[in-house]
Amino acid sequence: MSDFLKEEEAGRASEAAKKLMATLNGVIFGQEELIRLSVTGLLAGGHLLLEGLPGLGKTELIKGLSKAVNLDFKRLQFTPDMLPGDITGNPVFQESEGRREFVFQPGPIFANLVLADEINRASPKTQSAMLEAMQEHSVTVMGETHPLPQPFFVLATQNPIELEGTYKLPEAQLDRFLFKLEIHQSNADVLQRIILERQLGVSPQVDEIMTKETLQDICQKVRLVHISPVVASYIARLVDATHAGRSEAAAAVKYGASPRAAIALAAAAKAAALIDGRVHCGFEDIKHLAHAVLRHRIILDYRARLEGHTPDSVITALLEEVNASAKTLPSTVSNN
């Protein structure tokens, strides 16, 4: 049936995805799980928020990704004095053939992959310029809407310890990120490898692994990965349980995850299954991706913070509480 993915197609897509991950593992060392999640998010068509201390390779990973997939790449260094027009572009007054008119000059947001570096340094007014771009893949300036190039991804970075000159990202913007990925310090063996290779003057060479068109084709195949009613029910119950009063684990949650989180978790699970060469996703995919999808969508109340709870600890408790094998309404899938 054309509506479902064939195993041979999944196998070819899986091979390309794994080759991409192997290339990125040569860009930053010791971050295999981060790289897998980044590629999963890319194949799911989502935006990524990378949080970590300076010098852990966030920017290098994103630049390497743009080279490996040959995407049109733009970098935006967010600062407190940045204006919305610095992102979207501005109308420019021009004279041509005796006529004077405003002509739209596209900003750096018009690219396939946009690195939003230190995104939390821009003011809320400037952050608002990202909302339409991230959701509708377009920008509206002076009443005129301009579509963005396809595919379009925002990969943003932020430093978790610097508070001077930073702003909290609006919840509506956080919800538009498919994943929030936390980057941790590498161990001593990885640091030794980095030192020795830098000493020899070795710099990572990133070859083109796939074209933009190939990436778009794989993203289309992700949508054909099958998700059964029982897995969809598990996603729905898990996201519903993030709201206060719906589960014991969410007792200290002020605001739970939105319906967009359920859609994101399903899309990410499909991408994870395809990377493994599977034509259907399962419970383990959901459990593996739940933290990345939900951690930035759960807002804790003051009691939870005082007691030392974190979104990750709440999600871990939710996964233990929500039974993946719970019964759901029977449903059949037609192959006609």
pLDDT at position 336 is 34
- What pLDDT, on a 0 to 100 scale, did the predictor assign at position 98? 72
Burial readout 312-321 (b: 16 or more C-beta within 10 A, e: otherwise): eebbebbbee
Total number of domains in the chain: 2
CA atoms of 282 and 293, how far apart (whole Å): 16
Q: What is the mean pLDDT of each run of 10 residues along the chain (336 residues)?
A: 76 94 86 92 95 78 88 91 91 78 88 92 88 92 90 90 75 93 80 72 76 93 94 95 89 91 97 95 95 95 84 93 61 37
Question: Has residue 334 been placed in a domain?
Answer: no
End of a domain among 209, 234, 256?
Answer: 209
Q: How far apart are CA 46 and CA 38, in angstroms?
A: 10
- Write the CATH number for 267: 1.10.8.80
User: Do both 33 and 168 map to the same domain?
Assistant: yes
Q: Does residue 317 form part of some domain?
A: yes
Same domain membership, residue 147 and residue 53: yes
Which of 209, 234, 261 is the C-terminal boundary of a domain? 209
Query: Which tokens belong to 52?
Result: 């970590």
> What pLDDT sits at residue 1?
38
Q: How far apart are CA 131 and CA 223, in angstroms?
A: 24
Residue 181 inside a domain? The answer is yes
Same domain, 242 and 194: no
Q: DSSP per residue over 12-28, as a string?
A: HHHHHHHHHHHHHHTTS
Residue 38 and residue 86 share a domain? yes
Structural domain span for residue 293: 225-323
Q: Check residue 54 and give its pLDDT.
A: 74
Query: Is 218 within a domain?
Result: no
Is 331 within the bounds of a domain?
Answer: no
Q: Looking at the domain assignment, is residue 328 inside a domain?
A: no
Rounded Cα gap, residues 60 and 118, in angstroms:
14
Greatest C-alpha distance within the chain = 72
pLDDT at residue 283, rounded to an integer: 95
Residues 106 and 178 in one domain: yes
Q: What is the pLDDT of residue 163?
A: 64
10 Å CB burial of residue 125 (0-12, 13-18, 19+) is exposed
Domain's final residue, options 209, 235, 255: 209
Here the CATH number for the domain that contains residue 105 is: 3.40.50.300
| Together in a domain, 32 and 62 | yes
> Do 261 and 293 touch, CB atoms closer than 8 A?
yes
Q: Rounded distance, CA 101 to CA 98, Å?
A: 10
**Co-location of 122 and 268 in the same domain:** no
Q: In this structure, are 98 and 122 located in the same domain?
A: yes
Task: Evaluate whether residue 332 is within a structural domain.
Answer: no
